[in-house]
Structure 1
Amino acid sequence: MEFVFEDCDQISNLQAMNYWTNHLISESNTECFHAAEALFTLKGSLGRSQQLGCSSIVKYPCRMQWPCRLNCYKLKDPGGIAAKVDGNNDIPTLTPVQDAQVINKQGGRRAAAATVGGAAAALIVIAIVVVIYICLMRLKRIMRQTSESASSMPSPTVEMGRSNESAQVNELSPHYAHNARQLTISELEQATRSFNQSNIVGEDRFGLVYQGLLQDGSIVAIKRRIFSLMQDFTFQVRQISCIHHIHLVKLIGYYEDSYQQILVYEHLPNGHVGNHLYDSEGLPIGKLDLWRRLSIALGASKGLEHLHSLDPPLVHTNFRTRNVLLDESYTAKVSGYGFGTLQRQAAASSSCIDCFLDPELSSSENYTEESDVYSFGVFLLELISGCEVYNKNMSMAEENLAFQAKAKAKDSEGLEKFIDITLGEHEKHGGWRMMRLALLCIGMSYTRPSMGQIVQELERIQREIAPLYSHVNEDIAVVTLGSELFQ
């Protein structure tokens, strides 16, 4: 079937549309209704009043083929009717309904694919973040286990010799290397805001202690000595700067000029042990359980044992509770070691009675490892009783914890009263074991155990009481206490 319009001047647009529509409807083939719908669509778009001129329709064969397919005339824009196709306004077109549906379906599929792809990408990112978090937690756990194993490793065994000047160690010893940094005064002034009084956090025998912030972002404790400068300051710094142990406070740097001497240590946020045992009057506050106290005692004993294991041994000479500092996880670290000449001079010139000082010392020059053991025994007494060695309940200076412990050691009831009343009943047995060890430490010098033996005994006590503690108490709040550091 072929239709050709040769004279279009007398056929209006509407007439042409009606002609085609009626002719297609009259056909018996019902499937041609789709073509009719397309023509009605075009008819509506052209409007009721517009006419098509003869030039509007060019002769093209328009055949009806089976199934119904229109190979139709190409319509030209008469000037006022334009349908923009691919940016070309010259040719109006008819878009088949079926093709539009296919395009809509394809667009929907693309949108669905994009949604699925975005969700999958988000899941992948979440999975990566979770994996990284798990890896970091495992790495932290491994590092903590490594630190704990390193702290429990035995120190090198050496002959426990005697020396009139135990702090003077051999510079060629493999245990020592000069790692402390020589800092500039400008960096130290910047760290402490020109040694501002608001940065002062304590005072010890060396001098005032400042809290400072170095240029690398590390928080440090800076000890400054202005008067009575030490003659062998640099020598002693080089001797102790790289004595490395997890239970020893690390010396980071130093500075010296004709006016002042400065030591820079790592900063430990929880201050000394006394802050967590007793109040300002020296009476118990019950903050630490027996497991935590025993862990602190074990850490401090390992620090002293390491000093005594050096060749020749390094005697602390000033061990006391205020020189046992706690980091953010309550790991005990011994501070104030080295600089023995300075500490002995201060002890000899002091008019007050030092309760941590070995009473068998005949002079300030014969400090030995046994003298450190006596001081450690007094430290144990403070841990067990929860009281300061000399507190407000003492009527006389001679009546200190060591005196009371020896007096109450004669009967079990006295020992029970000596143990901190804030401890639970299930903790009393461990407290008795620690009490007996403390009494050995403050006994006669020839009967005192070595620091290595003290470490072993504390480890045995810890294994005995371990079943009472299914886990270490992690609920103890971390308190940043800056006062009285390194005293």
Structure 2
Amino acid sequence: MLEIMERAIISLLHGAPTHCSHTASTNLSPSSLTSSPVKKFILFQSNLYKSRKTRIAATVGGDNGVPTLTPSQTDFVERPGKQRLATIVGGSAVGALLLVIIAVLVFIYLLRAKRFVRRTSETESSAASTHVDCPRENGSRQAGTVSSYETQNLRQLTIAELEHATSHFSQINVVGEGGFGIVYKGLLQDGSIVAIKRRVHEPSLSFIYEVENIGHIHHKHTVRLIGYCQESHQQLLVYEYLPNGNVGNHLYDSEGFPIGKLDIGKRLSIALGTARGLEYLHSLEPPLLHMHFQTSNVLVDENFAAKVSDFGISKLVEEGNWAGSSSSIDCFLDPELRLKTEFSEKSDVYSFGVFLLELLSGHEASSIDQSGALRNLVAQACCPNVKAKDIHVLESLVDKALLGKAEFPVKLMMELVVICVGSGERRPTMKWLVAVLELIQERRMDHVHTGLGKEIDSVTLGSELFK
């Protein structure tokens, strides 16, 4: 068909006759066709047909028989570079967008998880601890409620929080000073009133280790560690706050003389609570030795229930840096340690005996008397000429506020003093002391309530009471 049309067009251009009508052939001369618009149109169509013919011929193949591509295939081959580039760019954009979306979702999840953990930690820290009975080896009856060994409530506080709690460690908030450092009263953001012990010290891993060990301890008659901080070249320990301070504040004045505020009932209760606290520490595996026990380390709450403090921090305090808030630590140290390098439970028992002596006498263990001479209560009580049966000599050391009101508890407790500060081999255990103090309290309560309590004159190591 195309060839026929082509021949017709050529014949028209050269004046050749065709099968067309005679009228048309006579009217269209070669000269007129050459110059007319019709000729131009015919030439355009001819060129168009030739172009199409060439392309169509390509579909069949060349003379060599090698098949060639069709126009549609040619178009497909000519475009793949652009299509692949567009596909790669589009895929990369989608992948990048997905990565951004995933990263945003992960960030939001982690942020929410962090907030949840922080809120949970703060809630658990501010909530009261759950008390459960924990069986212990060599534990005494009525030794107090003990919690399981967990540190989940131990909080790691920041220096900014503690500065805010103490008004930037204002002197107004200072409530004492001990071996670890100055003690401040503070108010945390959750409303908890705490005691904060602060010292300047380089950071160390041993501090964290010892603090976590202390955080395991929770007993009715021990002061609970709430949190800690090691920051800005400072180490801080945060304890529960006991409003009545240490026992020494209720026994003697600033010069170490009796003020007679506590009756025998409170003193006996304080002695028993303190003994239970130390007995619990010694019952742990391995035993936890206090090593620097003294009267200033016995705190009392609003009901005058005694709690032992500063246990477990002896390894944090270098020797020679201990300072008592109201009495010299030297009077409480076992003198036999100068011959024996190892500290033992019996050394804590010696310190407890000195504590009992202060509790009964109302005097500071080491003080300056009215004549200006140094007075050492332990030396007086343990004079070679004084024995357990010489109770009249020991009575001269007793607080006058107690004389004539409750003689038998005072006498028995004074004999416990002599036993505790005596020879290390004959010193009792804290478990034994708890049992004896419990019996003394029971006999006293019987005497108070019925008036028929059996009077006990004196007690020796061989008596039924001390078995």
State the TM-score, normalized to the length of structure 2: 0.61
Distance 2:405 2:189 in 1: 49
RMSD: 2.9
How does 1:292-307 map onto structure 2 within 5 Å?
A: 292-307=266-281
Deviations 1:404-425 (A, max 9, x none): 1123734332122122111141
Aligned 8 A contact 2:151 2:216 in 1: yes
Paired position in structure 2 for 1:359: 335
Distance 1:455 1:250 in 2: 21
Distance 1:346 1:209 in 2: 19
Q: 1:456 to 1:231 in 2, by over 3 A?
A: same
Q: In the alignment, is residue 326 of structure 1 matched against residue 303 of structure 2?
A: no
The letter of the residue matching 2:382 is K
The one of 378, 382, 385 aligned to 1:402: 378
How does 1:394-433 map onto structure 2 within 5 Å?
A: 399-407=375-383, 409-410=386-387, 411-433=390-412
Paired position in structure 1 for 2:311: 337
How does 1:97-246 map onto structure 2 within 5 Å?
A: 156-157=136-137, 175-227=149-201, 231-246=205-220
Q: In the alignment, is residue 438 of structure 1 matched against residue 417 of structure 2?
A: yes
Shift of 1:158: 5.2
Secondary structure of 1:209's aligned partner: strand
Distance 2:395 2:426 in 1: 24
The letter of the residue matching 1:361 is L
Paired position in structure 2 for 1:454: 433
Secondary structure of 2:364's aligned partner: coil
Distance 1:386 1:154 in 2: 36
The one of 364, 378, 383 aligned to 2:354: 378
Paired position in structure 2 for 1:65: none
The one of 446, 452, 463 aligned to 1:467: 446
Shift of 1:371: 0.7
The letter of the residue matching 1:421 is K
Deviations 1:394-449 (A, max 9, x none): 87988511111123734332122122111141312111100111111101111100
Distance 2:449 2:314 in 1: 42
Distance 2:370 2:434 in 1: 31
Secondary structure of 2:366's aligned partner: coil
The letter of the residue matching 1:366 is E
Deviations 1:350-375 (A, max 9, x none): 9x771000000037952111110000
How does 1:252-271 map onto structure 2 within 5 Å?
A: 252-257=226-231, 259-271=233-245
The letter of the residue matching 2:206 is D
Q: 1:395 to 1:453 in 2, by over 3 A?
A: farther
Please identify, of 222-231 and 319-328, the stretch whose mean Cα deviation from structure 2 is larger: 222-231
The one of 361, 364, 368 aligned to 1:388: 364
Aligned 8 A contact 1:381 1:435 in 2: yes
Distance 2:359 2:191 in 1: 34
Aligned 8 A contact 2:158 2:229 in 1: yes
Q: 1:406 to 1:465 in 2, by over 3 A?
A: same
Shift of 1:348: 8.7
Larger radius of gyration: 2
Secondary structure of 1:391's aligned partner: strand
Please identify, of 353-362 and 173-182, the stretch whose mean Cα deviation from structure 2 is larger: 173-182
The letter of the residue matching 2:386 is A
Shift of 1:381: 0.5
Shift of 1:336: 0.5
Deviations 1:159-203 (A, max 9, x none): 9xxxxxxxxxxxxx9645453101122211211112222222222
Equivalenced residues, count: 308
Distance 2:150 2:138 in 1: 15
Q: 1:229 to 1:319 in 2, by over 3 A?
A: farther
State the TM-score, normalized to the length of structure 1: 0.58
Secondary structure of 2:197's aligned partner: strand
Q: 1:372 to 1:343 in 2, by over 3 A?
A: farther
The letter of the residue matching 1:223 is K
Q: 1:436 to 1:366 in 2, by over 3 A?
A: same
Aligned 8 A contact 1:377 1:439 in 2: yes
Shift of 1:347: 6.1
The letter of the residue matching 1:417 is S
Q: 1:365 to 1:260 in 2, by over 3 A?
A: farther
Distance 1:336 1:291 in 2: 25
Distance 2:427 2:180 in 1: 30
The letter of the residue matching 2:348 is D
Distance 1:281 1:334 in 2: 24
Q: 1:219 to 1:443 in 2, by over 3 A?
A: same
Deviations 1:119-170 (A, max 9, x none): xxxxxxxxxxxxxxxxxxxxxxxxxxx99xx9xx8971159xxxxxxxxxxx
Distance 1:456 1:196 in 2: 44
Secondary structure of 2:292's aligned partner: coil
Percent identity over the alignment? 51
The letter of the residue matching 1:402 is V
Secondary structure of 1:217's aligned partner: coil
Task: From the two aligned structures, give the one with the greater helix fraction.
Answer: 2
